[in-house]
Amino acid sequence: MAYNVKEVAQKPDRLTGGHRMCAGCGAPVVVRNVLKALKPEDHAVIGSATGCLEVSTFIYPYTAWTDSFIHNAFENAAATISGAEAAYVAMKRKGKINGETKFIAFGGDGGTYDIGLQSLSGAMERGHDMVYVCYDNGAYMNTGIQRSSATPKYADTTTSPAGKKIPGKLQPRKDLTEVMANHHLPYVAQTALIGNMKDLYEKSEKAIYTPGPAFLNVLAPCPRGWRYNTPDLMEVSKMAVETCFWPLYEVIDGKYIINYKPKNKLPVKEFLKMQGRFKHLFKAGNEHMLEEIQQEVDRRWEALLRLAGEA
């Protein structure tokens, strides 16, 4: 279906207002736009790993979700939703259920890249007809901004504090989108909050309505952990894309497609300087760290171009 922003805006919100997410947080914007891709007549079963999204949108007996919602432990969102999907398939085969139900799991990078990776990998390998959406905010934000394997190198977190002993996190960020692409799934995509959400919406629609397992990795900036000004959510996301820190691409049945190539690829420091977690990199004597980050971004971008046959 061709993307029409007016039509999409008129679709009902399946994540309602009144939740307790922070102002300027990317996660609820991600969720709202992913769920907009559902057909109005389709029901959804939503699972969410423990984290900011879960604790802020579902505090019994109050909920911001209009579809069926399951609160999971940190590590098992994918396993729980895959079990619900399996039960649905069995009941539908026996004629006990009518209509279409879609199964979607949400998790932050802590519950996806790290603690939940085993259950995610298992659910994807088994081939359940479900979508797993990672809202990647680059740390364990809900429990105090501890580093995760999604945290970029040299980022300042409470467990990798930039100071005299270390200059922030010492390890490069894990590339989970590539990990999932190598599960040979029907659909894998990486997207972000940019423009009128066209990229996010279209990829969500493909993920939801492609038969079989699908994975979406969505950059979801966090104002507290990244330390940017609340109104700058969209600009921070845009800079991540324009610098190729966070490329927009999809992998359809193994075929790589880059959805956006900046006409003038900006240096990664334009993205980093908007965030307080990287302010130490701009002190005299730390230029080599900025250069190292730039080299890593360039290396990953060139590798992606080769995978897409565009090197």
- Amino acid occupying residue 279: K
Cα distance between residue 81 and residue 301, in whole Å: 33
Per the DSSP assignment, residues forming a β-bridge with 187 are 214, 252
Residue in 257, 187, 196, 256 with CA at minimum distance from that of residue 216:
187
Q: What is the pTM of this model?
A: 0.97
| Residues 6+ positions from 248 with CB-CB distance below 8 Å | 190, 191, 192, 194, 199, 241, 258, 259, 260
> CATH number for the domain including 222?
3.40.50.970
Q: What is the pLDDT along the chain (311 residues), one digit of tens a residue?
A: 678 989 999 999 999 988 999 999 999 999 999 999 999 999 999 999 999 999 999 988 899 999 999 998 999 999 999 999 999 999 999 999 988 999 999 999 999 999 999 999 999 999 999 999 999 999 999 999 999 999 999 999 999 999 999 999 999 999 999 999 999 999 999 999 999 999 999 999 999 999 999 999 999 999 999 999 999 999 999 999 999 999 999 999 999 999 999 999 999 999 999 999 999 999 999 999 999 999 999 999 999 999 999 98
Domain count, the chain: 1
Query: For the CA atoms of 268, 150, 179, 117, what is the dihedral angle to 10 degrees?
Result: -170
| Residues 6+ positions from 92 with CB-CB distance below 8 Å | none
| E strand intervals along 150-254 | 187-191, 214-219, 249-252
Cα distance between residue 130 and residue 181, in whole Å: 15
Domain that holds residue 195: 5-307
Characterize the bridge pairing of strands 43-48 and 68-71.
parallel
